[in-house]
Structure 1
């Protein structure tokens, strides 16, 4: 009798898990509550909708851990990476996509797959039998979140996440702004259209910081103990840490030359990254914010070049939940108390689109192999996938567990290589060479 894999959540992790299992011959039912039940951040009912950014970050698979994760997912026939390639936008050394076309592409491929059925509607209780993956992400519905809390016996951990505004390109003053990728990465004409730059003098920067700090913010008034994920801090939180913080973060002026005034070095620069294939939308890089809407428009229009800006979407803040995975999940990503249920994606305590999709890829393959009666070996810890899953399912300290991006700090050292900055390039290449060999061998087993 055919056994079905049920997946709750059609985001990055759920979509990738469904694809992997379906490609291995498993019948999959993908449960997605949108558009019947909306969330704060999503705007459509499409699967794998991107909300915080349109970037998958670095695509360098020899010197960057997330680029290595891209490589591993491609080798496994990952749908997310395939669609990212189809809908890629110029973005220097990063992998950025047309977010709407990307989500539509993922949705179309899954709906067309003979082994995939998509069912729309909210699930509020934990399943008691069958094979299940919960990939509901940081915006898990209140009902299902409460069911998870009751089963695990502890309150879900949480952190706050923020979304950056998106600007209509036609409203940007190109007599002030100019097109240039930082350090001229990918210096073709098309690549130079990937980023717009808005310069600030010292006085303009100081006035902007003053307005930012004084602006009215959205706050959670419930009894919250959550903090912010450092990789996605609101700009006003960064500014509160010091007036120069933004100038050495998302507003750093290095690697850029003002095309209108080449001899005049900007004190700070706001970058906007192309958000769609048409080039009609640009998102403000690193400008996640919890400012209220009225305050956002006033403060952001202080940026030279954006004085007449029209916004396709303003920023916002939402509460993300995640499991204390080191105590709750085994090394096959199964809930220890209910091993017929696996978890995948951001709810497991990984951070980022790529990491979420990667955990979906693993969960889908592990579940499919279990259903087929051919369980897979533990993922090699020296791969990007293995380093990440090992961290969340036992490598991290449970008492201080927080969301984590993939990084080389999660990898076992390579014998015989120097530590320190001088040997970093060789060390990272050794990490990626070793990972590629071990990932290829692991894939070959199933």
Structure 2
């Protein structure tokens, strides 16, 4: 889960999409209604914030009680699927986009209930959110199966002083990154590398989102087709993108994947520890992760360096969904609307919830450096990765990247092997 002060925004245009439907009424209308909210906010401070919001909701809605069910990130999807299979899923679930799509395809979650959320039409719901945040939850028939719980993106976090000390401007293309590599490479008296220009994710949970965005900057797509079931790993654009990553390591001396440890590829840790001048997998929450002396104005967020197709900002997020098996769907959607309306308070969890009014609020601009100048336009163009809920596919892609960057394996043959493995996995 991406966390720590994720606040993002973008300009919005009205969308005229049809297809919202009302859910079945609660089976417990005659008495009290009890709903469970399964979420990733397992930290003590996060649980407290959710508990406080629940108290406020219950005071505003007598007769409805909410149980806070926090689950650690690595256990979230498995716990939900187990309860779903047992016929007792939570009433509100904080779902990643991939699992939300699968649940919708399986008929396991309901369409957004416009009436229960207190809106008068589907357009009112859509217009309340940033397009890039809500569009990932639109079904092929025009209905929506969820609304954003959080929405964020990656930019390049840059130690501007490191570039300035080397007599360099912040690079705007990957060619410029390559040229700057040797000038930002530092070693200690024993010849050990202590500082590089750029960190790259290897075995981290952000690698797939990163690679998808990087490939798009070269005009390619990892997957295509109406159902995103056609891998394109051997296309010229994808091969060029991976070749550029390899070149940044071996030819440009811009990145050393084993800088932090031999196998973790902890790109964020290397940057926060002052071992690199740039990292590419940080959202607005990165502000809260930095420590002296790596704070603004020394460290700033910039667009990713551009490839042949331009600069791309990868987006990611979670959505609120309500299972079909919930006995209190109306109360569940009412609670979703409450959390959405409480967006400014919700930001204390480190999440921007996709709401336009929150994006345009003074609180958002006050909390994030360069909000209007940098973050807002980047969220307006952020692109979410193809939503694969497959550990096997993720492992195949991670193995390919590790071979290319750690072993200097031939790029095209490595991607040929990965293409075949992914095709088998999809079959």
TM-score normalised according to structure 1 size: 0.24
Instruction: For CA contacts below 8 A with separation 6 or more, give which structure has more relative contact order.
Output: 2
TM-score normalised according to structure 2 size: 0.25
